Structure 1
């Protein structure tokens, strides 16, 4: 029996459904940006089919330009009529033409109706460069940077909600030790100034997975100067970076290891959160999981530095499990950004020139969109199938219940008791894979797509639910007042 509590516990910030778009492989170029002269239908250079699909899942915030790319990105090369190209040394050594820069990013956000989360360059940039970028984006008038923005065609300032001071400073962002970065963070963040009405939330680079010392040092030395602290954790089926495992054609053991390693996110958020609670008991500082998702070996025949992988029902289940964990910890976790939005790692969309498909992960974000800005409701369990996982939220007078069966072979059943008699099942949909690596292709784009879910019955205040194996379901339920 899963018993839903009568009162909500905490708010689920819509930003835990955030996205990440790095200059990496075909994420930005082709995946999002094709240019105004492209034969691919676009609006101001941004492909219309991608925007239409992403708007449907209510993308709340997009992190850009990296990732590792952020700490070699010099923003002035990507503004104005004459762009300066650069070599993307982290991801394939390709030449980035910088045709997608600050103005194009904000054009994308406007089309998506999303907020901005920009990562600044600490690893190879200067304080002055970062300060100039913030001024360029957010100062109305009266400075060389504001005047430069206006000469580039934008009279009004951009709305910059979040600014990350560096990325993975413990690794590709500078190979720093925590105290060194903490001191640099205090210096750099000083110049992320608020010029207009829009406050800018400053995000400090946080830990790599279970590096709890990093969190301890950052919170002790710099908590008063930050609004958020990031965390990165990827699910690797093998746990080994050199041989991560294949995205398709894997065995049962790889499936179960992927589930086990995904659930480690709960321990990470618990332990990092406990450190943050000691330094910030009021939970003013957010924990921002701004890189998460599955990471496999690249698809055969593709460029190793482009991180292109297929996306299966396994990824959908991983996405749902992570979202359940974020909901549980949402009193501290107020943003998360899956890696990445298009054509890279655990993406929402895959493209092949003019063709575009939605991945199983995309469909989970669609199924779970009602959890955005809802109130999380605890749901205690007694004698429930060990392969079943769940999350519950309340918004607009109804409960949204997410259910996952991580089992490979058998159905999972449960009784879900609501606080009062069920008045109506407003909607019920399920995403199922016929095999453990079921996925969509450009020739068969709807192999894994949501369908109406009828595996339940209502008995008073209880839902009796039976979920097929390898499945994610979402039910929206109202109760008698």
Structure 2
């Protein structure tokens, strides 16, 4: 089969006219020209000391009536294992720049109580600290991303924390770790030097932060062979001054620059929009806002390509996701929100964008893992429910460490509303570690189905097998009383009359393996 190529893209909007088969949306995948690796850490998670994100959500303690593994919720751990969580970022977020790591080591009944000034003004008893975090990532089979305190800390404190974690000598700091029950050092995949230095991390200028980074990083040392990737606190939205300044002026070890962007339906922090009960206007505006991620990454990549043409510096989107108005009757500072089919579509669209930019985007962390913002899991005491976003992570885990493949598409149309235009379908393709060819499709239109014709250069494909996530309602979500309202269904399509066509329902996410 030969398709007319009229537009190259890895994720682009299309629509379909049922009146004539020749007008179907068409996608061609080039299996002969693999691109960069889609790093598994693009599917990273984030756990901050915020609301019930850690306490109750992950950690309940050994004496809890809730079934647990050494204090960690059994149901949550098992659910996260199933989606193959590759990386967890901790302890923040804004919380990181007030966190004193020594508060969270040693006997729990002797750990000091602090006030969490960022999130609700609640008391933090430090029951979950360094040892607990590394036990969690080991339980999950994940890796660790630790965020150091630059805002209220000092170079000695940060350096000693890294030594406590990775040291192998008989120094006082390492002996302190051994006394606290851990002889073998832990492995740290990433270490962040501060967080949101432009905001809650100190309201700094990028030039000032760059000087501080050089200062702190001078003293961040580990045994040979155990060095983490060091992450500088970067910018947000269209402001590329942080990426520009840091990539020019940081002289010490820096492997990546972070970036934060939250999707707000209205684009306004004072009235973000509701998590449920919204109409198509906010369905559209949410997707329009989240599609800006592509613009932001492109702007920053342009700066990095100029300052770092050898691509030594990664671009890490280590906070992203949807953010809605607080639920009525809940503590606003706990950032608890319901999670709907709209959030699943947002997550899948962002994954496809990250895949496009896998040459620079090597790691991302959705905010956050449990009970906070765009969570994988919601809990209420002993109850637990998986969200639509969780199911997207489950569908997309086949893309971890896969090789991105270029797409060409034809017959594109748009999803339009209120004078604005969006791509109708987002798509991404890759060759998985298992050798299979995978295709993801996201239908952004909440009312129109699509028919997608698929061809692969370099490989004959006659069938597609995978899973599909959709529902009849835009705000369909899972609850503790009805935990399976939204979940994936098996999907299969076979070649007919010499063509492989996939039927993509409205407001849906599909991931399929293409083969014979």
2:349 alignment counterpart: 321
Aligned to 2:514: 477
**Unaligned stretches of 5+ residues in structure 1:** none
User: Of the candidates 129, 133, 138, which is equivalent to residue 105 of structure 1?
Assistant: 133
Moved more, 196-205 or 149-158: 196-205
- Structure number with greater CO (CA < 8 Å, separation at least 6) is 2
- The TM-score with structure 1 as length reference comes to 0.97
Within the candidate set 71, 76, 97, 2:97 is matched to 71
Q: CA shift at 1:425, angstroms?
A: 4.0
Offset, 1:422: 4.0
Alignment counterpart, residue 289 of structure 2, candidates 261, 266, 278: 261
Q: 1:379 aligns with which of 398, 402, 407?
A: 407
Is the contact made by 1:117 and 1:164 (CA closer than 8 Å) also made in structure 2? yes
How far apart, in 2, do the equivalents of 1:218 and 1:462 lie? Answer: 50
Indicate conservation of the 8 Å contact 2:462/2:494, yes or no.
no
Point out where structure 2 has 5 or more consecutive residues left out of the alignment.
1-25, 415-423
Q: Is the aligned partner of 1:151 residue 2:179?
A: yes
SS of 1:404's partner is strand
Aligned-residue offset at 1:324: 0.2
Deviates more, 1:59-68 or 1:279-288: 279-288
- Partner Cα distance (1:150, 1:90) in 2: 32
SS of structure 2 residue aligned to 1:225: coil
Q: Does 1:394 align with 2:431?
A: yes
String of CA shifts for 1:328-387, please: whole Å, max 9, x gaps.
000100000000000000000000101111100000000111000000001011113431
Aligned to 1:25: 51
| Offset from partner CA, 1:396-434 (integer Å, 9 cap, x none) | 321111001111111012211112554564632100021
Q: Whole-Å Cα distance in 2 between the matches of residues 407 and 12 of structure 1?
A: 27
The answer to whether residue 480 in structure 2 is matched with residue 442 in structure 1 is: yes
Whether contact under 8 Å (2:28, 2:455) holds in the other structure is yes
Distance (Å, rounded) in 1 between the aligned partners of 2:70 and 2:458: 51
Q: Secondary structure at the match of 2:329?
A: coil
1:305-333 deviation per Cα after TM superposition (whole angstroms, max 9, x unaligned)? 00000000000000000000000000100
Q: Does 1:118 align with 2:127?
A: no
- Identify which of 476, 479, 501 aligns with 1:464: 501
What secondary structure does 2:312 align onto? Answer: coil
- 1:255-404 matches, within 5 Å, as 255-386=283-414, 387-395=424-432, 396-404=434-442
Deviates more, 1:215-224 or 1:114-123: 215-224
Change in Cα spacing, 1:419 to 1:462, as seen in structure 2 (3 Å) is farther
Deviation at 1:460, TM superposition (A): 7.9
Cα offset for 1:195?
1.6
Q: What's the secondary structure of 2:457's corresponding residue?
A: coil
> Does residue 195 of the first structure (1) align with residue 228 of the second (2)?
no
User: Any idea what SS the aligned residue of 1:216 has?
Assistant: helix
Q: Is 1:138–1:196's contact at 8 Å kept on the other side of the alignment?
A: no
Contact kept? 1:287, 1:333, Cα under 8 Å = yes
Contact (CA 8 Å) 1:385, 1:412: kept in 2 or not? no
Maintained 8 Å contact 2:151/2:202: yes
Query: 1:241 and 2:258 equivalent?
Result: no
Over 3 Å counting, the alpha-carbon distance change for 1:13 and 1:116 in structure 2 is: same
Is residue 205–residue 231 contact of structure 1 (8 Å, CA) maintained in 2? yes
**Mapped contact 1:421–1:462 kept (Cα < 8 A):** no
Contact persistence 1:204–1:229 (CA under 8 A)? yes
Distance in 2 separating the partners of 1:149 and 1:10: 39
CA distance in 2, matches of 1:202, 1:173: 17
- CA gap of 1:33–1:424, structure 2 versus 1, over 3 A, is farther
CA-to-aligned-CA distance 1:243-280 (integer Å, 9 cap, x gap):
00000001111000111111100011111011011111
Task: Give the Cα separation in 1 of the matches to 2:326 and 2:448.
Answer: 30
1:196 is displaced (CA, Å) by: 4.6
User: TM-score, length-normalised on structure 2?
Assistant: 0.91
* Distance across 2 between alignment mates of 1:243 and 1:162: 34
Return the match for 1:212 from 240, 257, 273: 240
Alpha-carbon distance, 1:461 to partner: 7.4
State the Cα deviation string for residues 278-303 of structure 1 (Å, max 9, x = none): 11111111110000000001211110
- C-alpha distance in structure 2 between counterparts of 1:425 and 1:115, whole Å: 36
1:385·1:413 contact (CA, 8 Å) conserved in 2?
no
Q: Secondary structure of 2:291's partner?
A: helix
- State the match for 1:453 in structure 2: 491
CA distance in 1, matches of 2:302, 2:66: 49
Alignment partner of 1:3 is 2:28: yes
